[in-house]
Amino acid sequence: MVDNLTRHFEFADSPENPTAFNLFWYGEKIGSFTFGGRKEWHPEPGYESMFVMDELGKLPCFLDNINPDGWLKGALEVELQTEYVAKGLRFLSNFVIVREGERTDNIVVDELLCGLGQYTGENGVFTGRYEAHQGMAGEDDHDAALKDNWKDRHMPRLSGAEQKLFMTLYPCGTMQPAQRTSFTHFAKYPGVGGYESLGLNEFLGMKMAKAAGLSVPPFALVDQGEHPPLFCVERFDIPHEHDPQAQHKILMQDFCTLMQKEETQKFAGSIEKVFKKVKELSDAYSPELTQANTQALFDRVAASWIMNDGDLHLKNISMIFKVDPATNAIQSASFAPTYDATIDLFSESGGTTTALTLSGTSKANRKLQDFVTLARNVGLFKDENGAFDQSAAQVHLQNMASKMAETAVDFARNPPDLKAMSPVLRQDIRFMASHVVDRARVLGAQTPEWDSKAEWSRFKDNSPKRRKMVADGRFIERNGQTRKVSACRARGRQ
Ligand SMILES: Nc1ncnc2c1ncn2[C@@H]1O[C@H](COP(=O)(O)OP(=O)(O)O)[C@@H](O)[C@H]1O
Ligand SMILES: [Mg+2]
C-alpha cells in the first residue's frame, strides 16, 4: 500500500546481504533480482529469454543501465543503484520494481489517454492547459520545484541527463505531472546559461526529422510566457487506452542495453555495429521488417549528421518489441521513432563531431560519398536486379537534406509568435538554420537562399557557447563587453 511504499529506506548492501527486488510488467511479476552486493536474476517461466543479459549472464542489461545521470542524479542525491531503484517504483515500458515483500496493487499502468495532436495548434504550440511548474533549468526556484517532484516514489524514473517532468495529458486538454497517474508525455525544459533555446531546438529537430520522412511521435512547444518555451513529446512505448488493436505489451530497449554496454559506454560505439544489431534482431523476430528497420536507422544517422546533432549515442536510439500477452513471445522488433534529436549550438561554422564512429570517415567531416558507401554496405537502395542503385541513394540523401534545410530556414524566418521570442532566441534559431543549410550544401542538396556566412560572423559575440562561458564564470561582462577572465586577470584587472 502507499504508506508502506513511501517509507524511508536504509541500505546495507553486502555480498552476503544484497537487496532483493521483484520486477513487474503490466501488473504481472516477471522476475526477481538482486544487485548491489551480488547480481542475480530469476525470471518467471516464459520470461527466460526476453532480455539481453550482461556479458557475464548475471543480470538483464537494462537493469544495470537503469541509473539516472546528469542533473537528475544530483537532484535525487543518490549514489547507489540499489537506492535509486528502491526509492522509485515506475520505470519506462511499464516496468514496476519493488523490494521483496512490497505490494504493487495501487500502481498505475501507463497508457495514452489523449493524443497531443488534439491540443496542438498549426504553429506547433500546445493549446491545452499546462499545469506544472514553469521556468528554466538552473534557476533556483525551478530546480527546487522539480526536485520536489522526485520525492514521491510514484514519480516515474528513467535515465537521461536533461531536466524534464513526466506528465499526464487528460482528454480535457489539461497536462499535469504524472505523480500517480499515467505518464503519457515528456516535458523537457530549457535552461539558463546557453540552453535558453533548447525547447525550440528540440522542436526544430523533430520538425526536421518529420520533414525528412523519419517516424516521429506527436510533439509540441509549450508556451511559458516570459520564459522560453519548453518541448513536449508523446510517449511511443505505451498502449493507447481502449485501443482494441493494442493487445500486445510494448518493450523498449536502447542500444546501450541491446549491445551489452554500460551507460558510461554510450558514446563508445560504431554505426556499423548498430546496423548489425538491427539486422540480427529484426531477422530473429520479424524478418519482414529488416529492410524497413535498416532504412529507418540509416535515415536517423543521416538526418542526425545533417542537423549537426553531436548526441546520437547508443541511448538515443532504441528498438520497440511487441510482445504477445498470451504467450510472452516477441512478435515484432522495430526501430523506434526519433527522440532526443537536437542541433549542437555550441559548435560554430563547420559543426560538431558525431558521437558514433563510421569506419573510413572522419567524425567531423562527412561527405555524400560516406553515406552512399554506408547505404551500399548495409544493403539499401537495390534496383530490381538486386544491384546497388547509387543515384537512388544520392537523391534520397539530398532530398532529406533539402527538406530539412527548408524546414529550418522557414522556422528561422517565421518563428512562433510567443512573448518570449527575444532577439537572442531568434538568433539561436538562425544559427540552427545555418548549421543545417551548411551541411545540406555539403551533400550537394538544394537549399533555400540563406546567408550562413553573415550569421556565423555574429557567432563569436552572440552564441549560446558565449552565454555558457559567462554563466560558468569563464567570461566577465564589463562596460557592455565580455572578456575572457584569464585575459583580465593577466592585466591585473580582476
Ligand atoms: N517519446 C518517447 N517515448 C518513449 N520513450 C522516450 C521518448 N523520448 C525519450 N524516451 C526515453 O527517455 C529517455 C530520456 O529521454 P531523452 O529525450 O533522451 O532525454 P535526455 O535529453 O535527458 O537524454 C530516452 O533515452 C528514452 O529511453
Ligand atoms: Mg537522451
51 and 135: one domain? no
Residues 144 and 196 in one domain: yes
Structural domain includes residue 41? yes
Pair (198, 314) in one structural domain:
yes
Nearest residue (CA) to ligand 1, atom 5: 235
Residue identifier of the C-alpha nearest atom 8 of ligand 1:
339
Nearest CA to ligand 1 atom 3: 235
User: Is residue 183 one of the residues assigned to a domain?
Assistant: yes
Q: How many angstroms is it from 95 CA to the middle of ligand 1?
A: 15
The environment of the single-atom ion ligand 2, i.e. residues with CB closer than 5 A, is: 160, 316, 340
Cα torsion angle, 46, 47, 52, 56, sign: negative
Rounded CA-CA distance 336/237 in Å is 9
Give me the numbers of helices (H) and strands (E) for the chain, helices first please.
16, 16
Counting other chains too, the contacts that 25-32 makes at CB distance below 8 Å and 24 or more residues apart are: 25/93, 25/94, 25/95, 25/96, 25/249, 26/94, 26/109, 26/249, 26/325, 27/96, 27/104, 27/109, 32/100
Say if 207 falls within a structural domain.
yes
Same domain, 35 and 180: no
Instruction: Tell me which residue of 310, 309, 321, 233 sits closest to 52, measured CA to CA.
Output: 321
CB–CB of 430/422 below 8 Å?
no
Question: Using CA atoms, how far apart are residues 128 and 126, in angstroms rounded to an integer?
Answer: 6
Instruction: Give the integer Cα–Cα distance in Å for 493 and 475.
Output: 13
Same domain for 387 and 267:
yes
Q: Which of 397, 415, 450 is the last residue of a domain?
A: 397
Tell whether 345 and 493 lie within a shared domain. Answer: no
Is 446 among the domain residues? no
Residues lining ligand 1, judged by CB closer than 6 Å? 92, 158, 160-162, 186, 217, 233, 235-237, 254, 315-316, 318, 339-340
In this structure, which ligand is nearest to the CA of 68?
A: 1
Q: How many domains does the chain have?
A: 3
User: Do 270 and 125 reside in the same domain of the chain?
Assistant: yes
Q: Is residue 264 part of a domain?
A: yes
pLDDT value, residue 153: 83
Q: Are residues 324 and 378 in the same domain?
A: yes
Pocket of ligand 1, candidates 146, 340, 343, 344: which has the most ligand atoms within 8 Å of its Cβ, to mutate? Answer: 340
Q: Domain boundary at 70, 99, 128, which?
A: 99
User: Last residue of a domain, which of 381, 397, 413?
Assistant: 397
Report residue 153 CA to chain centroid gap.
23
Q: Note whether 88 and 122 are same-domain residues.
A: no
Contact residues for 139 (Cβ-Cβ < 8 A; gap 6+): 192
91 and 132 share a domain?
no
pLDDT of 266: 87
Residues of the chain with pLDDT under 50: 1-11, 487-494
Residue (of 103, 61, 64, 237) closest to 166 by Cα position:
237
Cα(420)–Cα(140) distance, rounded to whole angstroms? 20
Among 91, 198, 318, 339, which residue has the most ligand 1 atoms within 8 Å of its CB, making it the best to mutate? 339
Do both 92 and 233 map to the same domain? Answer: no
Q: Whose CA is nearest to atom 21 of ligand 1?
A: 162
Dihedral sign from CA coordinates of 89, 91, 93, 97: negative
Residues 90 and 132 in one domain: no
Separation of CA 318 and ligand 1 centre (Å): 10
Q: What is the domain range of residue 309?
A: 116-397
Q: Is residue 424 part of a domain?
A: no
pLDDT of residue 68: 67
Distance in Å, CA 250 to ligand 1 centroid: 15
- How far is residue 465's CA from residue 161's CA, in Å, rounded to a whole number? 19
Domain presence at residue 442: no
Question: Cα 230 to the chain's mean position, in Å?
Answer: 15
Residue 427 included in any domain? no
How far is ligand 2, taken at its centre, from the CA of residue 316, in Å? Answer: 5
CA distance 13 to 37: 5
